[in-house]
Chains A and B, each alone.
Chain A
């Protein structure tokens, strides 16, 4: 406990998952805690990220399934949608996360909330709206901001990012998406389902470049064949120009330069850490990728910790929360705990969903690991028959001893299925152990058992 030498025991910069969890743990342990938030309470996830996008994608999924319902003998009149109502549904989901109540909630827990941007002016002191406040410990959870590539004419022509895309009042008739990571792909799917002509571009040779190559190939096939998207890989956007109310995007694919006229441009080219907070005044080292921390989430200034997207290596709410818990423990207790990223589940909420955990095959090759792998196509299981699904797979990777080290799934409910493999990797189980486990028939998870059985026999 601080000896009242400082205003607070802990000041948390940022009210998102990376900050709020530690703040609540610390105040629960009797510490004097302040939380500084320059934007909306709760940070990106509930306001612009996971919650609104998943709500919109849920509505899109229902609309898409309804369009295909005829094959199951279901008849309906004209099927249509009202996007303002879909947006209202999304707003309700956001509201139900409690972000609007957040301030009151935290204050009722005893956390002092300070609205404004914090900036370190010395190792134990920050300034917020010219008010100087000090603390024994700090937790930096300031998140990220969008990286906007320097493309000629982009600023003048105008563009949207995910922040605006969740609040459009109607889907654009046509959209050019720059960046085919998880954010780019989720919005590509959302707008395509609601009738937009989607051009999905990336400078990389494949979409979802961080995922297993088999995932990228299948998602591309679904995007092109079922969603009617124009997928442009190995594509560099050269410049953008306004054409009346529309925008013309000039891009280079191989040696040729082409152009497309679209209604809207969505930039989804990644994020940069919010590190312009006077870290130099506190002795905290960082790179453009984020704040340097050790396995205890401790920065180069030993009393300052960092968690969430500002640290990486993953930009997920669940990793931010995990890191925040670790930071809180290590601030409060002498017995330190370390972060372990062997089994971080990653989910992309497409239809079908994409989920992965641990290493991809590419990463194994880069690390020169000798591995075994097996794929179980979704089409071979009973649930695929009863649901009339023929696209998808479960791919598992083990080390030479058969211990599971990675998995990728493309399947309905992949986001739920992945947790069985996440637990197996976390616990160091071999594939045979999963293969020996009874899986209910007919469930999607049977494909997990089959893939594990195949790799165990190989």
Chain B
């Protein structure tokens, strides 16, 4: 079952794992994390999120952002902060 993402104005789109991976990876790199570590972290977050989404047909983009930031915080709190607030910075 592929999860659908409900965006802030109500439009929907299929969940894209690559997009999440890229944003986590970018957040890690933005605070000078070595690329290898950034890759491993992004993989971990994407994998855990995949399992969280397994029984969820539809979630909001806000849900994804919160959950991913929470997971990223375990591995890299500074990157998590950047990921969570990158739109505001």
Contact residues of A with B, CB < 8 Å?
Answer: 117, 119, 121, 127, 129-130, 278, 280-281
Q: Are A278 and B60 in contact (CB under 8 A)?
A: yes
* CB < 8 Å neighbour of B57 from A127, A278, A280, A281: A127
With a CB–CB cut-off of 8 A, which chain A residues contact B59? 119, 121, 278
With a CB–CB cut-off of 8 A, which chain A residues contact B66? 280
Main secondary structure on B side of the interface with A: mixed
Give min CB distance, A136 to chain B, whole Å. 19
With a CB–CB cut-off of 8 A, which chain A residues contact B4? 130
- If A117-B56, A119-B58, A130-B58 are given as contacts, then 18 extra A-B residue pairs at C-beta distance below 8 Å, sorted by A number, are A119-B63, A121-B6, A121-B58, A121-B59, A121-B60, A127-B6, A127-B57, A127-B58, A130-B4, A130-B57, A278-B59, A278-B60, A278-B63, A280-B62, A280-B63, A281-B60, A281-B62, A281-B63
22 examples of A-B residue contacts, CB within 8 angstroms: A117-B55, A117-B56, A119-B56, A119-B58, A119-B59, A121-B6, A121-B58, A121-B60, A127-B6, A127-B57, A127-B58, A129-B57, A130-B4, A130-B57, A130-B58, A278-B59, A278-B60, A278-B63, A280-B62, A280-B63, A281-B60, A281-B62
Most chain A CB within a 10 A radius of its CB, from B4, B56, B58, B63: B58
In B39-64, which residues have CB < 8 Å from any A CB? 55-60, 62-63
With a CB–CB cut-off of 8 A, which chain B residues contact A280? 62-63, 66
With a CB–CB cut-off of 8 A, which chain B residues contact A130? 4, 57-58
- Compute how far the CA of A130 lies from the CA of B5 in the bound complex, rounded to whole angstroms: 10
Give min CB distance, B49 to chain A, whole Å. 13
Nearest opposing residue in chain B for A127, CB measure: B58
With a CB–CB cut-off of 8 A, which chain A residues contact B63? 119, 278, 280-281
Nearest opposing residue in chain A for B62, CB measure: A281
Nearest opposing residue in chain A for B66, CB measure: A280
- Compute how far the CA of A127 lies from the CA of B5 in the bound complex, rounded to whole angstroms: 11
- Compute how far the CA of A121 lies from the CA of B59 in the bound complex, rounded to whole angstroms: 7
Query: Interface residues of B toward A: which range?
Result: 10 to 19
Q: Per-residue 0/1 for B14-44: is the Cβ within 8 Å of any A Cβ (1 yes, 0 no)?
A: 0000000000000000000000000000000
Give min CB distance, B3 to chain A, whole Å. 10
In B57-87, which residues have CB < 8 Å from any A CB? 57-60, 62-63, 66
List 9 tightest A-B contacts by C-beta distance, closest first. Answer: A127-B58, A121-B6, A130-B57, A130-B58, A121-B60, A281-B60, A280-B66, A281-B62, A129-B57
- Compute how far the CA of A280 lies from the CA of B63 in the bound complex, rounded to whole angstroms: 8
Nearest opposing residue in chain A for B6, CB measure: A121
Nearest opposing residue in chain A for B58, CB measure: A127
Give min CB distance, B45 to chain A, whole Å. 17
Give min CB distance, A145 to chain B, whole Å. 13
- Compute how far the CA of A280 lies from the CA of B65 in the bound complex, rounded to whole angstroms: 11
- Compute how far the CA of A119 lies from the CA of B55 in the bound complex, rounded to whole angstroms: 11
- Compute how far the CA of A267 lies from the CA of B9 in the bound complex, rounded to whole angstroms: 44
With a CB–CB cut-off of 8 A, which chain A residues contact B60? 121, 278, 281
- Compute how far the CA of A129 lies from the CA of B69 in the bound complex, rounded to whole angstroms: 26
With a CB–CB cut-off of 8 A, which chain B residues contact A281? 60, 62-63
- Compute how far the CA of A117 lies from the CA of B6 in the bound complex, rounded to whole angstroms: 16
- Compute how far the CA of A117 lies from the CA of B1 in the bound complex, rounded to whole angstroms: 14
Give min CB distance, A5 to chain B, whole Å. 16
Give min CB distance, A283 to chain B, whole Å. 11
- Compute how far the CA of A117 lies from the CA of B55 in the bound complex, rounded to whole angstroms: 9
Nearest opposing residue in chain B for A120, CB measure: B60
With a CB–CB cut-off of 8 A, which chain B residues contact A117? 55-56
With a CB–CB cut-off of 8 A, which chain B residues contact A119? 56, 58-59, 63
Give min CB distance, B68 to chain A, whole Å. 13
- Compute how far the CA of A121 lies from the CA of B4 in the bound complex, rounded to whole angstroms: 12
With a CB–CB cut-off of 8 A, which chain B residues contact A121? 6, 58-60
Give min CB distance, B69 to chain A, whole Å. 11
- Compute how far the CA of A121 lies from the CA of B56 in the bound complex, rounded to whole angstroms: 12
Give min CB distance, A77 to chain B, whole Å. 53
- Compute how far the CA of A119 lies from the CA of B60 in the bound complex, rounded to whole angstroms: 9
- Compute how far the CA of A406 lies from the CA of B63 in the bound complex, rounded to whole angstroms: 44
Give min CB distance, B21 to chain A, whole Å. 22
- Compute how far the CA of A129 lies from the CA of B1 in the bound complex, rounded to whole angstroms: 11
Nearest opposing residue in chain B for A281, CB measure: B60
With a CB–CB cut-off of 8 A, which chain B residues contact A127? 6, 57-58
Give min CB distance, A375 to chain B, whole Å. 50
